[in-house]
Amino acid sequence: MDRIGPVPQESEQVSNDFSAVLTPHRSLSPRGFLILMSIISIVSFAAGMVFVMAGAWPVLGFFGLDVLLIYFAFKLNYHAGRAYETISISGSTLTVTKVLASGRTRQFTFNPYWARVDLRSQPGRASVLRLTSHGRSLIVGSFLSEDERLEFATALREALASHKS
């Protein structure tokens, strides 16, 4: 999985340092988006022209409105996809940096010797991955799939255990 896992760092001196970047999955590339929107536009225009020829010309505007709504929905989705989280362990600090789609950044620090990785399954709901330490708790990887969340929790637990030893 190329979206989750240790990221090699050039200045990495200690072998048990850990760094990961978590990003939301977006399956449609910009080129795919252009192709999809072209197909939707052509189909909507053709269907609209059928209604225009039948004398129901106002329907053409609704087909255009559908295309615009689909376009804005995808743009909103791509904007939300700019959010990411970085988790790193270096020395005596575990740092979580959350970057929102708007660019706003929040940083949280934990002591890696006391930090615990808690992955809880909830019946009928998505599991929740938390980092906890000294009564503080932080949800990470909320945009990951169940399998990705489990894989990352395992990798982070191993990194913390390696760092402690």
* Cα 137 from Cα 62, distance rounded (Å): 48
* Domain spans in the chain, listed from the N-terminal domain onward: 18-26+81-164, 30-74
Backbone angles phi and psi of 163, in degrees to 5? -70, -35
Residue 42, pLDDT score: 96
3-class SS of residue 50: helix
Dihedral, CA atoms, 32, 33, 36, 39, nearest 10 degrees? -110
The whole model's pTM is what? Answer: 0.70
Look up the CATH architecture of domain 18-26+81-164: Roll (2.30)
Closest CA to 130 of 99, 147, 105, 153: 153
Residue 105, pLDDT score: 94
- Angle of helix 30-53 relative to helix 58-80, nearest 10 degrees? 170
Mean per-residue pLDDT pooled into runs of 10, the chain (165 residues): 44 62 87 94 94 91 93 91 92 92 93 91 85 92 89 92 84
Residue 130, pLDDT score: 94
Strands of the sheet containing 116-122, edge to edge, are 116-122, 125-133, 136-139
